[in-house]
Structure 1
Amino acid sequence: MRKIILASLAVGVVSSAVAAAFAANTSNPDQLSPIYGVSLPDGYRKWELVAPAQEAAPLNELRAVVGNDIAVKAYRDGKLPFPDGTVLVKLAWKHTQSPEFESASIPGAATTVQVMVKDATKYAASGGWGFGRFIDGKPADRAQHETCFACHEGRVKQRDYVFTKWAP
């Protein structure tokens, strides 16, 4: 029993450390999101796809959500709430018609990269999630970040505040 308790504590410490590393993986405070202090995680463009999405008007965007290994495992296992250390990144582009194939859509100009980091202790006031919204690699202003949790809380609280469902 003692080994199980110690192992559980170790997993919790490691998960919190992973989330903290992703939440502040930069020494430049100008690269941290206001309110939550989240940064763009290193190597996120190589993460596994969780799901694509298309946003209708007024945003008219194509989106892709990718997750770190902890996020992907939680999705595959159907685990809610997501464990600490989960990081989800949503990439968004303007929805553009392909010039080569009329019925196809392609990504146009990049619009935002949005990040969610799970750390139930650090972000207890926002359902255990820290949020970051980045435009051209720089954090969006504070007003844009103030809308993050309110939208998630009002619409997907029952899914641990996460909109994106796994696309097998």
Structure 2
Amino acid sequence: MKNTARLLISALVMALPGLSPAGDIPGPSHGIAYPQGWQEWSTIAVSHRTDNNTLRVILGNAAAVEAARAGQTDPWPDGAVLGKVVWKDVQLEDWEAATAPGEFVHAEFMFRDSGQYADTHGWGWARWVGLEQKPFDGGMQVCIACHTPVKDRNWVFTDPAPFPPLR
């Protein structure tokens, strides 16, 4: 199981650089600017949703990673940005036991600022869809409705994965 998880994380992280085609910066989503350089952020966790057959890598900016590694996520500090990069899952033909990323779905982000986003539970919510990173503007209420079941977890679904300390 540990080897499978390592392989999955490696495959997902290695796929990240290919998601940033050269060109214009995508427009804002819900009034939030596109977080340039997110493809170089560090991994906080990985999740697999069996209800919609997706694999997700949860990334963080420097503030989020520092908080995650220090166990300071209740609440997440202002300035933390969490990214969730989502792919449809596929079974590998040559290795049936393995699940790997298939079609890229979207990249979505939670921006922690308890003052600026007081009306949305301290989080700014944004999503960019497809490899072209088209801004999703269905309204932050769509995001909040989805996250309502985890409102007592500071609106965040996935706990940071344990990582060994840097040596």
TM norm structure 1: 0.75
Q: Which residue number in structure 1 is paired with residue 56 of structure 2?
A: 63
Q: Which residue number in structure 2 is paired with residue 110 of structure 1?
A: 104
Tell me by how many angstroms 1:121 deviates.
1.0
Query: Following TM superposition, where does structure 1 have runs of at least 4 consecutive aligned residues deviating by more than 4 angstroms?
Result: none
Alpha carbons of structure 1 residues 29 and 67: separation in structure 2 relative to 1, 3 Å: closer
Matching of residue 48 in structure 1 with residue 77 in structure 2: no
Alpha carbons of structure 1 residues 93 and 30: separation in structure 2 relative to 1, 3 Å: closer
Alpha carbons of structure 1 residues 167 and 29: separation in structure 2 relative to 1, 3 Å: closer
> Where does the alignment leave 5 or more consecutive residues of structure 1 unmatched?
1-27
Matching of residue 141 in structure 1 with residue 134 in structure 2: no
Matching of residue 151 in structure 1 with residue 150 in structure 2: no
Residue 32 of structure 1 aligns to a residue whose secondary structure is coil
Matched ranges for 1:5-44 at <5 A: 31-34=27-30, 37-44=31-38
Which structure's relative contact order is higher, taking Cα pairs within 8 Å and 6+ residues apart?
1
Q: Which residue number in structure 2 is paired with residue 121 of structure 1?
A: 115
Contact 1:71–1:82 (CA<8 Å) still a contact in 2? yes
TM norm structure 2: 0.75
The aligned length equals 136
RMSD value, Cα: 1.8
Q: Which has the larger radius of gyration?
A: 1
Residue 44 of structure 2 aligns to a residue whose secondary structure is strand
Tell me by how many angstroms 1:166 deviates.
0.8
> Where does the alignment leave 5 or more consecutive residues of structure 2 unmatched?
1-23, 163-167
The letter of the residue matching 1:45 is: Q
Q: Distance in 2 between matches of 1:100 and 1:31?
A: 40
